[in-house]
Amino acid sequence: MVLTEAVIAMQDGATQPESPAPAVPALIEQLGDTSQANRWRATKALTARGKAAVPALIEAAKSERRHVREHAVYALRDIGPDSVAALPVLIKLLDEKGSTRLVLATAAAIGNIGPAAADAAPALIRHLDKDWTFFGPHVRPALEQLGPNAVPHIAKAAAGPWQQRHTPALIGVLIKHGAQHVKPLLSHESPDVRIAAVRALSTDTESINTVVTMLDDPHDRVRSVSAYVLRGYGERAKIALPKLIDLLSDDNLHVRESAAWGISGMGTVGKDARAALVKASHDPQVALAASVALNHMGFADDAIAAATRALRAKWYVSRYSAAMQLGKHGRAARSAVPALTKALNDEATNVRAYSAEALGLIGRDAEPALPTLRKLGEKGPSLVREKALQAVQRIQNNAAPDRKP
């Protein structure tokens, strides 16, 4: 009878009494188990204990056994702000040698503590000097979690010697706490620091006036970056139009090109720059940016002429981008057929491919290019063959309509 009742109870969904959960000391011991699965079970169980497990985890993080140290840190990381008492030992573990996983988990654990760990910022920043490429993507999020009390530490490091490769990332952290923490760096003696500050400020929509002032910086690269980032402000960048027009005549090529890109984001409100852009586009290196700007303003003929000149640019990316721009104009770009036909012999695969595509989009007016296109369709890189054959078919079928970019 008792057995029958037990069976019925089990069938009805009744459960057997669960065995008591392991005590914290037993779980700490399990962190060093030879089974990875058992180590992670213990880590999860300790994490679930939260603040109550922190004292034992602090001691475990000091263990000479690597698995115990690592999994203790994993648990502290996942406990978050309640593991603040572990901060001293975590800072010390940042200098651990031989276990990259431990160091990364330690940085994350410090970050997860949040603002209460602000004083750990110098230790995290110092750690960046070891290997920015590897550790940077993990340490930067940790710094971002430390709150405003960490800002003085970060600002001091960001203003340090430019040999610190992580300065742009530190400035990126500062901007999250407000543009006011970044603006002082615009007067830094290093142009690289000023450039990093301009780039950070360009993500803040209210800092456009500050960015515009940097167009007068004495260093070419600072002026170039400042002009280029204005592209992202769209029509609001019109306040910078007079200065950008002046920069189209700058002695430095990169500044002139960046000025054209900066104007390109304004659209029709930048029309006053038309003449200056046309003049600047006579330099093939500047012509692509000028073409894009002129096209956005609605000056298609000027844009086509500029893009045609850009086919002679030194940088192959500019050349194939120019071909793509011409293709967007369709038959209206027929004046570019000779230049595009010549570009079919360019040394760069992409230039040949997209010049072929542009000729196909121009349509029947590109018939003079057919012999070269047929030849390209017979051998060579697959992209070039594909685009050439498509162009031949389009031209022969006379199927390319007038297009508006």
Do residues 139 and 167 touch, judged by C-beta distance below 8 A?
Answer: no
Q: Which residues pair with 330 in a beta bridge?
A: 402
Within a domain: 31: yes
Within a domain: 314: no
Number of domains making up the chain: 2
Within a domain: 277: no
Residue ending a domain, choose from 99, 123, 150: 150
Within a domain: 331: yes
Per-residue tens of pLDDT for the chain, all 405 residues:
444 444 434 444 445 555 556 799 999 999 999 999 999 999 999 999 999 999 999 999 999 999 999 999 999 999 999 999 999 999 999 887 767 888 889 999 999 999 999 999 998 888 776 665 566 777 889 999 999 999 999 998 888 775 566 788 889 899 999 999 999 999 999 999 999 999 999 988 889 999 999 999 999 999 999 999 999 999 999 999 999 999 999 999 999 999 999 999 999 999 999 999 999 999 999 999 999 999 999 999 999 999 999 999 999 999 999 999 999 999 999 999 999 999 999 999 999 999 999 999 999 999 999 999 999 999 889 999 999 999 999 999 875 455 555
CA 44 from chain centre, in angstroms, equals 34
**pTM listed for this prediction:** 0.81
Residue ending a domain, choose from 150, 180, 207: 150
Query: Domain range for residue 382?
Result: 325-405
Among 139, 154, 49, residue whose Cα is nearest residue 91: 139
Q: Which H or E element spans position 40? A: helix 36-49
The rounded distance, in Å, linking the Cα atoms of 289 and 260 is 5
Residue ending a domain, choose from 135, 150, 165: 150
Helix boundaries (H) for 50-163: 54-60, 66-79, 87-93, 100-113, 121-128, 132-144, 151-158
The rounded distance, in Å, linking the Cα atoms of 258 and 247 is 9
Within a domain: 399: yes
Within a domain: 242: no
Tell me if residue 402 falls in helix, strand or coil: strand
Within a domain: 268: no
Q: Which residues pair with 402 in a beta bridge?
A: 330
CATH of residue 120's domain is 1.25.10.10
Within a domain: 313: no
